[in-house]
Amino acid sequence: MAEKYLGEDIKKLGFGLMRLPKIGEDEDIEQTCKMVDTFMKRGFTYFDTAYVYDGGKSEDALRQCVVERYPRDSFVCASKLPLWNAEKYEDLAPLAEESLSRAGLEYFDFYLLHALNADSAKKAEELNAWEFMKEWKASGKAKHIGFSFHDSAEALEDILKKHPEAEFVQLQINYKDWEDEGVQSRKCYEVARKYNKPIVVMEPVKGGSLTTMTQEVQDLFKAVHPELSIASWAIRFVASLPGIITVLSGMSNEEQMNDNTGYMEHFEPLTEEEQATIQKAVEIINAVPTIPCTACKYCVDGCPMQINIPGVFAAMNFLKVYGNKDGAKGRYDRAVKDGGKAGDCIHCGQCEEHCPQHISIIETLEEASALFD
C-alpha cells in the first residue's frame, strides 16, 4: 500500500498526457485507450493534463479515453490553469471551466497554477489567482490546489511562504539534475519538504534524456538489473524519495506503458546498492568532456549565415553525454530551423574572435555538419 498524501491513495506512477501517441495532427485515441486500460488494470489512477497541452486535445483525450470509460471514483485527474492566457481576474474562471468541459468533468482532483516561476508568481499576485484557486476549491471544482514550478529554490520558498493554501507542488526532479545549479532539483525538493508540501514529480527522465545512455552507463545499469530498462532507474529514483505523491511519465506508446507499469506495479524504493549505482552513473555522465560553450551568444550577432552556434553545440553536447542520436538530431533541427545550418558556415572567423571560451567554432561546426546535416 502506498503512503497517503492529502488523503489520497495514489500509486507512484502517473500518466502524463502531454506526449500522447498521434495519428497526423490528432491524438491516437484507440492506442491511448489501450494504454489507459493497461494503466488502470495494474492499479494506477493518476492522470495529468493541462489547458495548453496540444491546444486542448490532451484534455479531450482524457475525456474520451478515461472519463467516458471508467467510473469517476476509479481515477484522479490533474489539470493546470495557464496564467499567460489571462489579463484580469475575470479571465480565470472561463479558462478553468473550459478545461472541465473539455475533460467532461465536474471537478479536478488536483488543480494547479501552471508553470510558476519568479515572474509568473508576480503575475499570479496581480491577477489575484490564489484567491481564485481558493474559491474554485470552495466551490467543489477542485479537490486540491497547488502549482507546477520551474525556477530556483529561493523563488519556490517565496511562493510557499506567501501561499500556505497551496497543498502540493509539482517539481522537475531527476537524478542528473539533483545537484544541478540551474534546475536545483534537490534544493527545490528540500524547500517543499520544509513546508510539508507533498510533491508530484515531473520530467523524471529529463524530457527523455535519461531513457538512452552512453554504452558505459547502460552497461553499469544492466550489470545490476539486466531485465530493467534504462528509464526505470530514473523513475524509481524519484519514486523512492519520501513525500512524493506520484511520478509523472509522459508516455507516448504502449511499449513505454507496459515497461513503466511493469516495474512500478509492485514498486519498492531503491536499495543502497541501487542508489550507489545511480551515483556512479551521474559521475560517468558528469565526466564526459563537452564543448565548453556557456551559451553567452557573443558569437551569434556577427554571423553572416545566422547560425545558432550555441544551439548547435548544445545538441552536440547532448549527444556526447547521453549517446542519444535521435534526441540530439531533434535538438539540432530545432536549433537551426530559423537560420543557417552548421554546414552553411563560410569560415569567415567572426565568431571565433568573440568567443570568450576560445572554442574552435569553425572546426566544431564541421563536426556538427557531418553528424546532423
Residues that bind ligand SF4 (CB under 6 A): 293-299, 302-305, 307, 309-310, 345-351, 354-355, 357, 359, 361-362, 365
Nearer to ligand SF4, 239 or 307 (CB): 307
Give the nearest distance from C-beta 180 to ligand SF4 in angstroms. 19
User: CA–CA separation, 176 vs 183, rounded Å?
Assistant: 10
**Cβ at position 286, least distance to ligand SF4 in Å:** 19
Backbone angles phi, psi at 113, to 5 degrees: -75, 130
Q: Which is nearer to ligand SF4, 179 or 363 (CB)?
A: 363
Query: CB under 8 Å to 334, separation ≥6 — which residues?
Result: 311
**For residues 276 and 295, which CB has a smaller minimum distance to ligand SF4 in the complex?**
295
- Closest to ligand SF4 by CB, 95 or 300: 300
| Distance of closest approach, residue 355 Cβ to ligand SF4, in angstroms | 3
Query: Which three three-digit cell numbers place residue 155?
Result: 523563488
Q: How far is the CB of 352 from ligand SF4 (least distance, A)?
A: 7
Q: 47 vs 4, 108, 147, 171, CA distance in Å?
A: 17, 10, 16, 16
When computed from its CA atoms, the radius of gyration of the chain, rounded to whole angstroms, is 22
Of the pair 159, 368, the CB lying nearest ligand SF4 is at: 368
- Judged by beta carbon, residue 103 or residue 312, the one nearer ligand SF4 is 312
DSSP 70-87: S-GGG-EEEEEE-GGG-S
Distance of alpha carbon 169 from alpha carbon 195, whole angstroms? 10
Closest distance of CB 342 from ligand SF4, Å: 8
**Per-state percent for the chain, helix, strand, coil, to nearest 5:** 50, 15, 35
195 or 298: whose CB is closer to ligand SF4?
Answer: 298
β-bridge mates for residue 47, sequence order: 15, 77
Question: What is the rounded distance in angstroms from the CA atom of residue 67 to the CA atom of residue 60?
Answer: 10
Q: Which is nearer to ligand SF4, 9 or 363 (CB)?
A: 363
d(CA 179, CA 242): 17
Q: Which is nearer to ligand SF4, 6 or 300 (CB)?
A: 300
Cell 530559423 -> residue: 338
Min CB(184)–ligand SF4 separation in Å: 23
CB of 7 to ligand SF4, least distance (A): 49
- Residue 98's closest CA among 38, 55, 146? 55
Shortest distance (Å) from residue 336 CB to ligand SF4: 12
Q: What is the DSSP string of 158-194?
A: HHHHH-TT--EEEEE--STTTT-TTT-HHHHHHHHHH
What CA–CA distance (Å, rounded) separates 79 from 108? Answer: 7
Q: How far is the CB of 338 from ligand SF4 (least distance, A)?
A: 15
